[in-house]
Amino acid sequence: MREIELLLSLTPRQWDVHLSQARFRVLVAGRRFGKTQLALAELLFATWGRPGSLAWYVAPSYRQAKRIAWTRLKSMLPPAAPAAINETDLSIRLPLGGEIALRGADQYDSLRGNGLDFAVLDEFASMKPEVWPEVIRPALADRRGRALFIGTPQGHDHLYDRFQFAQSQGLAGASTPDSSDEFAGRARAVAGPVSTVADWQAFQFTTLDGGIVSKEELAGAARELDERLYRQEFEASFEGTAFGLAYHAFSREENVRRCEYRAGARILWSLDFNVHPMCSVIAQRQGDTVEVLDEVVLDNANTLLACESFWQRIQGWRGKHNMGTLQIEIYGDASGHQRRTSGAGTDWNLIREFFAQRYGQSTAHIRAATSNPGVRDRVNLVNSRLLSAAGERRLFIDPKCRQLILDFERVCWRADELGQPTTELDKSDRMRTHTSDALGYYLAQAFPPYAKIGERHDRIF
């Protein structure tokens, strides 16, 4: 074993990848598997004691490369052998060895013109796919350099294509030394002698395989995520883009039940500021469980009418439970800060005034978010409350919430002209999405998406 291999300890599954002889390796693994750590170790393995060698760590952006890898890489340098560190260029020249540089796939020009011995493409799914064929692959040609693609799945994208290709090549066994590229059925030029090692090898590991995240931690994540997202993020599964029904976790049998207002509970009111119809939901929370008690769906309404309607609905509870002051929390669409559905003040200002006039009968806290979460993130979150990957249901709907139930049973993802899924909901039926949107705004604020485990910040939930 080489000295550098003794200095850097790898987990058993990291070893599996390290020991592969394949020229191009594709590692698909769950979050916190130890992907980046392996990437950095591989950079040192590729350059240590190899004068003149050059290896690159490529992240989706220069900033990401610096944030994720720079400090870590420097801390992995063997202290006994001082290296020349260039902070401006994010490069390290090793004593008696080669050079390692960090690069961002967003800065195309900085990527050209170098002959490389090794390149790691970390978070490959978040890079422009052209980076490989146009820049990195040509740079590896003259030195017959190696490459390691790394990522956590994000659906059927170019990481998936690479993984599939590597898997098919790996299974095929031997291939030609320069059959290195091109997947998807393109003819391969046969050049040179046939090697006994496959050029490509694919690896797929779960987060648990990595041995870094504990079972308990994973169980926590399973409670917070819906099944598909859990499989993607922690089991490294390539889930197809959500298509068809948006709220796939909903079950009329399991999520619909009689929900009665509990005396003294805070009344949660969450609004969508669509006009025709204007929709809101009234809910209560006990610990982690949310019960939707009622919905307010008004045709051709404005915010004031919605406030009045809501106010009427809750008066019965005050009388029944002999309560003086009702505690109300109000949530909803962040766009209500600018929008004026009734011409006068902004939606949120109208609500503020309405409840100010009823001070004494109610204490209203406005919890309007300043921005809305992404639609997919919000829908994923609602699904996780309807049914988590751990099998828990923590969202229940009273049967009188007819429009909300119809939303859960009917709202679909919109398809584009070619029939491909989009990241928007189908709004072709004017009655659909608004009630579930209203509930989603509340849930997104009350239960912020699972504390991000991992380094991928661009698109998570």
Is position 71 an interface residue for ligand ATP (rule: CB under 6 A)? no
Find the helix or strand (DSSP H, E) in which 424 lies: strand 421-425
Closer residue to ligand ATP, CB minimum distance, 34 or 440: 34
Closer residue to Mg ion, CB minimum distance, 35 or 394: 35
Closer residue to ligand ATP, CB minimum distance, 104 or 454: 454
Residue of 358, 283, 365, 292 lying closest to 328 (CA atoms): 365
Structure tokens at 60: 């989706």
In degrees and rounded to multiples of 5, residue 312 shows phi and psi of -60, -45
Of residues 193 through 252, those in contact with ligand ATP by CB under 6 A are 212
23: which residues sit within 8 A by CB, 6+ positions away? 144, 146, 147, 177, 180, 197, 199, 200
SS3 assignment, position 128? coil
Strand duo 54-59 + 99-104: pairing: parallel
Q: Could you say which of 4, 13, 14, 247 contacts ligand ATP (CB under 6 A)? A: 14
Is position 43 an interface residue for ligand ATP (rule: CB under 6 A)? no
Least gap, CB of 36 to Mg ion (angstroms): 3
Is position 375 an interface residue for ligand ATP (rule: CB under 6 A)? no
Q: Could you say which of 61, 126, 152, 154 contacts ligand ATP (CB under 6 A)? A: 152
Q: Could you say which of 13, 23, 31, 394 contacts ligand ATP (CB under 6 A)? A: 31
Least gap, CB of 96 to ligand ATP (angstroms): 24
Is position 178 an interface residue for ligand ATP (rule: CB under 6 A)? no
Find the helix or strand (DSSP H, E) in which 303 lies: helix 303-320
Is position 60 an interface residue for ligand ATP (rule: CB under 6 A)? no
Q: What is the dihedral of CA 442, 445, 446, 451, to 10 degrees?
A: 140
Least gap, CB of 453 to ligand ATP (angstroms): 7
212's contact among ligand ATP, Mg ion, none, with CB below 5 to 8 A by partner kind, is: ligand ATP
Of residues 104 through 123, those in contact with ligand ATP by CB under 6 A are none
Structure tokens at 87: 């902070």
Sign of CA dihedral 291, 278, 301, 354: positive
Structure tokens at 191: 């050049």
Is position 32 an interface residue for ligand ATP (rule: CB under 6 A)? yes
Q: Could you say which of 170, 277, 336, 454 contacts ligand ATP (CB under 6 A)? A: 454
Least gap, CB of 78 to ligand ATP (angstroms): 15
In degrees and rounded to multiples of 5, residue 91 shows phi and psi of -135, 155
32's contact among Mg ion, ligand ATP, none, with CB below 5 to 8 A by partner kind, is: ligand ATP
Structure tokens at 233: 């993020």
Is position 455 an interface residue for Mg ion (rule: CB under 5 A)? yes
Q: Could you say which of 13, 23, 25, 35 contacts ligand ATP (CB under 6 A)? A: 35
Closer residue to Mg ion, CB minimum distance, 161 or 455: 455
Closer residue to Mg ion, CB minimum distance, 365 or 457: 457
Least gap, CB of 135 to ligand ATP (angstroms): 22
Residue nearest to ligand ATP (CB): 454
Structure tokens at 27: 């590692």
9's contact among ligand ATP, Mg ion, none, with CB below 5 to 8 A by partner kind, is: ligand ATP
Least gap, CB of 150 to ligand ATP (angstroms): 7
Of residues 297 through 336, those in contact with ligand ATP by CB under 6 A are none
In degrees and rounded to multiples of 5, residue 260 shows phi and psi of -110, 145
Strands (E), 105-228: 118-121, 146-151, 200-205
Beta bridge partners of 314: none
Of residues 57 through 76, those in contact with Mg ion by CB under 5 A are none
- Quick one: which segment of 28-36, 152-160, 407-415, 420-428 binds Mg ion (CB under 5 A)? 28-36
Q: Could you say which of 36, 207, 284, 383 contacts Mg ion (CB under 5 A)? A: 36
In degrees and rounded to multiples of 5, residue 415 shows phi and psi of -100, 150
Compute CA distances 336 → 103, 424, 441, whole Å: 42, 20, 12
Sign of CA dihedral 152, 157, 161, 162: negative
CA 10 to chain centre: 27
Residue of 431, 439, 402 lying closest to 269 (CA atoms): 439
Q: Could you say which of 9, 71, 214, 312 contacts ligand ATP (CB under 6 A)? A: 9
Helix, strand, coil distribution of the chain in percent, nearest 5: 35, 20, 45
Find the helix or strand (DSSP H, E) in which 280 lies: strand 278-286
Closer residue to ligand ATP, CB minimum distance, 9 or 357: 9
Least gap, CB of 124 to ligand ATP (angstroms): 12
- Residue numbers at the binding site for Mg ion (CB under 5 A): 35-36, 455
- Residue numbers at the binding site for ligand ATP (CB under 6 A): 9-11, 14, 31-37, 152, 212, 454-455
